[in-house]
Chains A and B, each alone.
Chain A
Amino acid sequence: MSTAELETRLRQILDERYHHRHPFNVRLHGGTCTPAEVQRWIRNRYYYQTRIPLKDGLILTKSEDREFRRGWIRRIHDHDGDDARTGGLELWLRLAEAAGLERAEVASLRNVLPGVRRACDAYVEFVASHDLLAGVASSLTELSAGPFLGERAEAFRKHYGWIEEAGLEYFLSRTRQAPRDAQEGLAFVLAHAQAPEDRARCAAALTRKCEILWALLDGVEWGGRIPRLAPAVLLRPEGEDTLAVLPERAVRVSANGREILAACDGVREVEAVAGAIRAEHPGDERVERDVYEFIERMQSLGVLELS
């Protein structure tokens, strides 16, 4: 693979696998998402935003080159802000407010869905466990982000007019920053990936990043699904607990779990189940997380079905 071929390969990966093709993004830009879906996406995607400066900090620690670090540290300022500028994280919280969400609730991250959390954590973990070249290569989704975010701002204006224009500042600022970041990252990768195996590793890193962004949106969609007790399940008491009995399997469920199962009534969405349990336990910080993890576990065991 020559340098030119590597760039072609990277752009081909983005064309085929970047999340602009994910069904959720297609609907988001097509204008068919409900306000609740747009809010769910904003609330969950904020977790990704919070991981970006951590990821960039990890990349900084991998470089011995002062010039590289001077360039790359700007990305952290872009997200965290500095004395002169409002950062991307603050702009995202303003987007959340403009979409009718509570800033404190979004910032608390307590409602982040488990699939979203796993995907974002996987990105940080990937960068932590790989070398500088693979870390920079994984950031090259920015090559697609510039044009994609311009399209997104337009879609929001057109379809989701209930979100105030001031909330769209994040997208506009990133349409300016992302192409610059992408060009710097691409130049670094093309200059440093000389050996064939390094070029293959860069392609693999970008593929992995695309998978992570894809999984993030799968995780967002999961929050809108409707859980119900699988028809095959028989619930029966077992001391103070409950047994959920299935063919060849019995799952012990505590009183707390029983409360969650009861709230999975086949009408409420996953997020609404968490909301109902939250209303019963207002003081407990971990309520939503516990509910989501429980629903995921019961889904994997066949106790709950999600439609």
Chain B
Amino acid sequence: MTSAPRLWNLVAELTYRCPLRCPYCSNPLALRDFPEQLTAADWGRVFGEAAALGAVHVGLTGGEPTTRRDLGEIVSKAAEAGLYTHLVTAGLPIDEAGLAALATAGLRSVQLSVQDAEAGASDEIAGTACFERKLGFARAVRARGLPLTLNVVLHRRNLARTRELIELARALDADRLELANTQYQGWALANRAALLPAREQLEAAAQVVAEERALSPRPEILFVLPDYFRERPKPCMGGWGRTHLVVTPDGRALPCHGAAALPLEFWNVREQSLAACWGEAPGMNAYRGDAFMPEPCRSCPEKARDFGGCRCQAYALTGDAAATDPACALAPSHGLIAAARGEPRSEDWRYRAP
């Protein structure tokens, strides 16, 4: 149906520590179950093995990766392995001197999160005062000539400021702006009533994006209507175990950051080679290709585009990870999504906590 699995992108979750407390955090709910156990030397070995498997990109992420004191060493090991080093950060606790050290170590590009277009709202979502500091960090990234992606998770509290977010990205000279609609898993699923927007909000935001794209090619804007409102599932991770591999702070190798919650056997890079973790672990092979698919997915021509959607979402909402993603209007369980769209909304959320 599609090309054979090829590891293109290694997602290195260096730690789950984070100074922010965003209520839609994609990290596991049980953060304490994932102690930070991989040393810089371990990561160096993982990077070399990933490059040998064909990986091109490494995303250095978390949690907040710049809470690690040995980040410079980790970056230089990734660069030595020939990987394209991409830092995914909240912009703190790192400072300009820290950025300079990472650039010297071989850092090639930066993705910075902001939570909204102005300090008050952004800091309220982050659960800590950090907006001004993020702007300073963004300017430092561009001053060094590094490519900058600005990432904003969208939800009902900030969708109305889509235009201001685009203007902010432009003012910061960002190359790309990811307007990432909240994925309702982990903390975001727990806070869904406070985050899930109304359809009209999304349509207005889509219109703004179209207008701003016509105005200027910069920044490149990524905006996709969320699966809750599209009647079709998202092509999650480009397919299970097809192009991406996530390694958690304790060394588990997963097809995506949410898969640890599934009742599957994944392997650990401290015990197995990365090639074995990627190619042979039962969990990695559980949903590769289309053999696992029930109808209506198995005979659906769209499976080549959406790979059957998101296994974690299927598990979280139906209890069966092999089920058709409820986001699809053709799924027997689609009523769960339709019901969520109509649920009463809430003003209260629960911040991420360790």
Pick from B82, B86, B146: contact of A248, CB below 8 A: B86
- CB B150 to nearest CB in A, in angstroms, measures 12
- What total count of A-B pairs have CB within 8 Å? 36
Q: Which residues of B contact A232 (CB under 8 A)?
A: 108-109, 146-147, 175
Residue A306 at the chain B interface, CB threshold 8 Å: no
Measured CB to CB, the nearest residue on chain A to B86 is A247
A247 with B56: in contact, given A231-B145, A234-B108, A236-B82 (CB under 8 Å)?
no
A247 with B82: in contact, given A232-B109, A234-B108 (CB under 8 Å)?
no
Evaluate contact between B145 and A245: CB separation under 8 angstroms.
no
Give Cα distance in the complex from A243 to B146, angstroms. 20
Q: Which of B159-177 contact A (CB under 8 A)?
A: 175-176
- Interface magnitude class on chain B: 10 to 19
Which label, helix, strand, loop or mixed, suits the secondary structure of the A interface?
strand
Give Cα distance in the complex from A248 to B147, angstroms. 11
Give Cα distance in the complex from A245 to B220, angstroms. 17
Q: Which of A235-265 contact B (CB under 8 A)?
A: 236, 243, 245-248, 250
Residue B8 at the chain A interface, CB threshold 8 Å: yes
- CB B175 to nearest CB in A, in angstroms, measures 7
Interface centre among B8, B57, B86, B149 (most CB of A within 10 A): B57
Q: Which residues of B contact A247 (CB under 8 A)?
A: 84, 86, 108-109, 111, 147, 149, 175-176
A250 with B57: in contact, given A232-B109, A234-B108, A245-B84 (CB under 8 Å)?
yes
Q: Which of B5-56 contact A (CB under 8 A)?
A: 8, 56
Evaluate contact between A248 and B56: CB separation under 8 angstroms.
no
- CB B170 to nearest CB in A, in angstroms, measures 17
Measured CB to CB, the nearest residue on chain B to A232 is B147
- CB B279 to nearest CB in A, in angstroms, measures 20
Give Cα distance in the complex from A245 to B108, angstroms. 10
Evaluate contact between A248 and B176: CB separation under 8 angstroms.
yes
Give Cα distance in the complex from A246 to B176, angstroms. 12
A246 with B147: in contact, given A232-B108, A232-B109, A234-B108 (CB under 8 Å)?
yes
Evaluate contact between B109 and A245: CB separation under 8 angstroms.
no
Evaluate contact between B57 and A248: CB separation under 8 angstroms.
yes
Evaluate contact between B56 and A245: CB separation under 8 angstroms.
yes
Measured CB to CB, the nearest residue on chain B to A247 is B109
Q: Which residues of A contact B111 (CB under 8 A)?
A: 247
- 5 A-B pairs whose Cβ atoms sit less than 8 Å apart in the complex: A234-B84, A245-B57, A245-B84, A247-B84, A247-B111
What residues make up the interface of B, taking CB atoms closer than 8 Å to A? 8, 56-57, 82, 84, 86, 108-109, 111, 145-147, 149, 175-176, 220
